[in-house]
Amino acid sequence: MTQSTSSTSTRAPHQVLALVIGAVYLLVGIAGFFVTGFDGFAEHDHDQTLLGFAINPLHNIVHLLIGILGLTMWSSSGRARTFGWLLVVGYGAAFVYGLFAVNNPDINILNINVADNWLHALSVAAGLVIALWPHKSGTATGPRQP
């Protein structure tokens, strides 16, 4: 008789969400370089967009870093929750920064536009979901007894 090892191979929904967000941000970071190239590292130019989101090479690097963090931190529940808090703090700060930077090219080194601000707010919400996902109840690995 073989027993299932699903308790060690099954990931919680918040871990899968961390993986998906990490993969998406990594892909967006890579795709961004096809739009911007490597010139104008911190340039403010809303003509350089990816799916309506303003980007520049510095912004692409931030996306790559977030993606790498998500891909490396999703594998355990605690690390996935930490990634969630990093999204909350990092993208919360990016959202506040974006409120001022959108209309001020002198400080807009990440080339943030209004669409980016909405995405940052959504990323904060996703980070909260990851960080605050309910813990599994109980520690038993076998079937429940009546």
Burial of 33 (0-12, 13-18, 19+ CB in 10 A): middle
Q: Which residues pair with 53 in a beta bridge?
A: 50
Residue 119 has pLDDT above 90, yes or no: yes
116-144: average pLDDT: 82
Q: Grade residue 137 by pLDDT with cuts at 50, 70 and 90.
A: low
109-117: average pLDDT: 93
Q: What is the pLDDT of residue 4?
A: 45
2 occurs within a structural domain:
no
138 occurs within a structural domain:
no
Q: What is the pLDDT of residue 9?
A: 64
Contacts of 31 (CB under 8 A, 6+ apart): 50
pLDDT in tens, 52-78: 899 999 999 999 999 999 999 999 999
**Residue 122: alpha-carbon gap to chain centroid:** 10
21 occurs within a structural domain:
yes
Q: What is the pLDDT of residue 44?
A: 77
86 occurs within a structural domain:
yes
20 occurs within a structural domain:
yes
Cα–Cα dist 111/104, whole Å: 10
Give the 3-state secondary structure of residue 27.
Answer: helix
C-alpha torsion sign, points 140, 141, 142, 146: positive
The residue range of the domain holding 16 is: 11-132
Q: What is the pLDDT of residue 27?
A: 97
Q: Which two tokens stand for residue 62?
A: 């931030």
pLDDT in tens, 4-36: 444 446 889 999 999 999 999 999 999 999 999
94-115: average pLDDT: 93
65 occurs within a structural domain:
yes
The domain total for the chain is 1
Give the 3-state secondary structure of residue 115.
Answer: helix
4 occurs within a structural domain:
no
6 occurs within a structural domain:
no
119: closest CA among 89, 83, 91?
A: 91
